[in-house]
Chains A and B, each alone.
Chain A
Amino acid sequence: MEEKKKRLGILVTAGPYTFQHIDTAYFIAKNAVEKGIEVNIFLFIDGVISLSSRIKSPGERHIPTMLKELAEKGVKIVGCGDCAQFRSVLRENLYPEIKLAGIATLAEMVENCDRFITLRLP
């Protein structure tokens, strides 16, 4: 019988470029997926800023594209819809693989993941 896939959840509350948290989440998720682990990322508070494809980062890594790359590898990435509204992160500026949703989705991830880690605002 096939062994059930392990599930990892990551909550990121810190914003991109000011803090390194989303980069850490990216590397954890990338490595976990390569090891066959199912990864879910929920972006909360300033974490949702990372989702805006309109971010311009001349000469620097482009975090929204990194997240898109994760989503294409099967990582489920969801941002808090309310947090996004407060930060002008609009649905039309998100890559289609990435969704906005409510806290119920965070609850679902917490419920279903074997391990859940928080990369929080300092």
Chain B
Amino acid sequence: MKKVVILSIHPPYGTAINAEAFRASLGLAFSDISVHLVLCQDGVFAALKNQDPRFIQMKSMEEVYKNISSMGINLYIDRRSMEERNIREDEIVNGKIIDEDELKKLIDSADTVLTF
């Protein structure tokens, strides 16, 4: 089974890219690929609790990331990106918080890396 790391660096709203990174992750996970989705840079905002994007007519990415492990996707949140944005661990909905060394090892262990 191939191991794919997906780096999602865009915020959850403002562009479709974060949602598309999720959609690609889901498609790959359904195709029997070991998928490791990493939210980093502004991507970490997608894992925040209490998102309410109804006023901009968007669907909440919080719902997606809350249930992601049941979809066969391993979710990681980059600690440094969280710290740079003043996000605390208890404000994150789900996912394993990883530091730079762990992220390097994860990328190194992947057969393929896709960046969105």
CB neighbors of A among B24-49 (8 A): 24, 26-28, 30-31, 33
Nearest neighbor of B23 in chain A, beta-carbon distance = A103
Q: Verify B4–A45 contact, CB threshold 8 A.
A: no
CB distance from B108 to the nearest CB of A (A): 16
Nearest neighbor of B16 in chain A, beta-carbon distance = A45
Tell me if A91 counts as interface (CB < 8 A to partner B).
Answer: no
Tell me if B114 counts as interface (CB < 8 A to partner A).
Answer: yes
Tell me if A106 counts as interface (CB < 8 A to partner B).
Answer: yes
**CB contact between B30 and one of A44, A104, A116, A118 (< 8 Å): that residue:** A104
Total of A-B residue pairs, C-beta within 8 Å: 52
Tell me if B2 counts as interface (CB < 8 A to partner A).
Answer: yes
Q: Which residues of A contact B70 (CB under 8 A)?
A: none
**CB contact between B17 and one of A11, A107, A108, A121 (< 8 Å): that residue:** A121
CB distance from A103 to the nearest CB of B (A): 3
Q: Which residues of A contact B99 (CB under 8 A)?
A: none
Q: Which residues of B contact A102 (CB under 8 A)?
A: 27
Tell me if A40 counts as interface (CB < 8 A to partner B).
Answer: no
Sample of 20 more A-B contacts, CB < 8 Å, known A104-B27, A107-B30, A110-B114: A13-B116, A44-B20, A45-B17, A103-B23, A103-B27, A104-B31, A107-B27, A107-B28, A110-B2, A110-B4, A110-B33, A111-B2, A111-B31, A116-B114, A118-B113, A118-B114, A118-B115, A118-B116, A120-B116, A121-B15
A positions within 8 Å CB-CB of B: 11, 13, 44-45, 82-83, 102-104, 106-108, 110-111, 113, 116, 118, 120-121
B positions within 8 Å CB-CB of A: 2, 4, 15-17, 20, 23-24, 26-28, 30-31, 33, 112-116
